[in-house]
Amino acid sequence: MKTFAKFPKPRSISFFAACFLLFLINQFYLVLQVSAIMKSAGSVVLLSSVMTAMAIPRIIMLPICGYLMDKIGAVKILRVGIYALIFTLLSYFVFSRLNLIHTNHIFLFAILFGGISAAVAPTLYAMVPLLSSDGNLQRTNSILQTANQAALLSGPALAGIVIKTIDERTYLLMAAMAIVSLVLSSAMNVPESEKRDNGGGQNVGQPPRVSYAAVFRTPDLILMLLFSAVLNLCIIGPQQIGYPIVAKEYLTGGIDRYPMLLSVNGLGALGGSFFVGGLKRYENTLAIRILLWCALLLGFVWGAFGSAASEPLTLGAAFCAGLIFGTINVLFMTALQQITPNTLIGSVMGIQFLCSVGLQPVSYTLTGLFLNHMPINGLYLISGGSIVFISVIMLFYNRQKKDRDTVES
């Protein structure tokens, strides 16, 4: 029970509450967009175009916001992002009440929301080291990832109930949630300002802020980000596009059981995020090693996922994949934050989210191309095999690095 002895400090609790509200707003917005477009136009093409319009500014803004975090501080970027979010949601509400929402407005607000989310999401993770001065990165990341998974699970259902009850006033509710998150973030009293002098935003006793070039001169960071990119490529597309096909072919209720498949997978991810927070703290070398062994196991589970012979096996595999992926998310963020210098944390978080959000269209496209030429089990075999391959390469590099460090010491 010793590992569970420490509970989050009050300022950390306010941080996690603000994070949950912001994650929930994102889920509400996505459900609102789908609902509004399908009710008014019923066009899948328009829906996919709006989603693309939301993704493009994220791709552009992520590296910019990462750079700005290292220049002026994550706390300031977060507050500016929340102010922009409140303004956007209130504007959408006003336009809706005045019946001024047209197709061009939907695209405009999608672009604004995409750009704002690019400022907010990586900032939350960049602030984790500021809240973990006691070296408790792993538990802090676990709670943050658990809040994210809880919002993913509960958000769509809550949004459906709220939209049915108050319709377009949901945007007003979301703005109120954003205001509460702003108050909570202001109450965090994150000691970032204490670590900076008053003459230009530099950390006291730290070297001047450096550029993105410093990230690409650090082999360990490059390999970790490459690992993240491969993992996201192999997971996002097969999950979002492959799951409906798996439900249709392997579950007794067909496509109607697709939500259950998603829920089981999400429940596993929530359990993995929560579970790893109760484990003892792992330092960066050991955290990376455990992370890679988990990824290796994920590769085998993912490779076998599309070949499950029965519904219980399919649902069990989905749960196990979610459980392992939730564990990997926490360990990966912890290890990445541990090996990243304080002067680069914003830039690295920007690139990390770019490896996720920016590669979504690529993963979707590759998944569609593969499914045009092979059955669903072939897709999962290839993606699972790719995860196994990159995990083995990383384990080999990690072992070689450990041997070199031992010789040098």
First to last CA, the chain: 36
User: 331 and 262 share a domain?
Assistant: yes
User: 181 and 238 share a domain?
Assistant: no
226 inside domain: yes
Question: What local confidence, expressed as pLDDT, does residue 289 receive?
Answer: 86
Rounded to an integer, the average pLDDT of 31-56 is 74
User: 167 and 263 share a domain?
Assistant: no
pLDDT at 139 over 90: no
203 forms beta bridges with: 196
**304 pLDDT tier (thresholds 50, 70, 90):** confident
pLDDT at 24 over 90: yes
Q: 6 — phi, psi (to 5°)?
A: -90, 130
199 inside domain: no
**pLDDT tens digits, 316-365:** 888 999 999 999 988 888 888 888 888 888 888 888 888 887 788 888 88
244 inside domain: yes
User: 162 and 228 share a domain?
Assistant: no
CB atoms within 10 A of CB 357: 22
- Using a CB cutoff of 8 Å and minimum separation of 24, what contacts does 3-12 make? 3/278, 3/279, 3/280, 4/278, 6/134, 6/136, 6/139, 8/140, 8/143, 11/131, 11/187, 11/188, 11/189, 11/190, 12/131, 12/140, 12/143, 12/188
User: 49 and 176 share a domain?
Assistant: yes
Which residue bears the tokens 């009440």? 97
pLDDT at 204 over 60: no
201 inside domain: no
Query: Residue 142 in contact with residue 84, Cβ under 8 Å?
Result: no
pLDDT at 308 over 60: yes
User: 254 and 367 share a domain?
Assistant: yes
Question: What local confidence, expressed as pLDDT, does residue 9 receive?
Answer: 59
207 inside domain: no
pLDDT at 179 over 90: yes
Which residue bears the tokens 């384990």? 395
Task: Give the domain CATH number at 355.
Answer: 1.20.1250.20
User: 22 and 157 share a domain?
Assistant: yes
CA 406 to each of CA 395, 399, 402, 409: distance values in angstroms, whole numbers, following the listed order: 16, 11, 6, 5
95 inside domain: yes
- For residue 274 the two structure tokens come to 């929560």
User: 257 and 356 share a domain?
Assistant: yes
Average per-residue pLDDT in the chain?
A: 81
265 inside domain: yes
Question: What local confidence, expressed as pLDDT, does residue 167 receive?
Answer: 81
Containing domain of residue 56, as a range?
10-188
| End-of-domain residue from the set 173, 188, 203 | 188
| End-of-domain residue from the set 188, 204, 226 | 188
- For residue 306 the two structure tokens come to 């599309």
Residue type at position 98: L
- Give me the helices (H) in 41-98, please: 44-72, 74-97
Rounded to an integer, the average pLDDT of 21-45 is 79
**pLDDT tens digits, 279-301:** 666 666 777 888 899 999 999 99
Rounded to an integer, the average pLDDT of 129-155 is 81
Question: What local confidence, expressed as pLDDT, does residue 381 receive?
Answer: 92
**Winning range, highest mean pLDDT, from 8-17, 207-216, 238-247:** 238-247
User: 176 and 225 share a domain?
Assistant: no
**pLDDT tens digits, 103-131:** 788 888 889 998 998 889 889 888 888 77
Counting the structural domains of the chain, the total is 2
User: 307 and 383 share a domain?
Assistant: yes
With a pLDDT cut of 90, the percent of the chain lying above it is: 20
1 inside domain: no
Question: What local confidence, expressed as pLDDT, does residue 306 receive?
Answer: 74
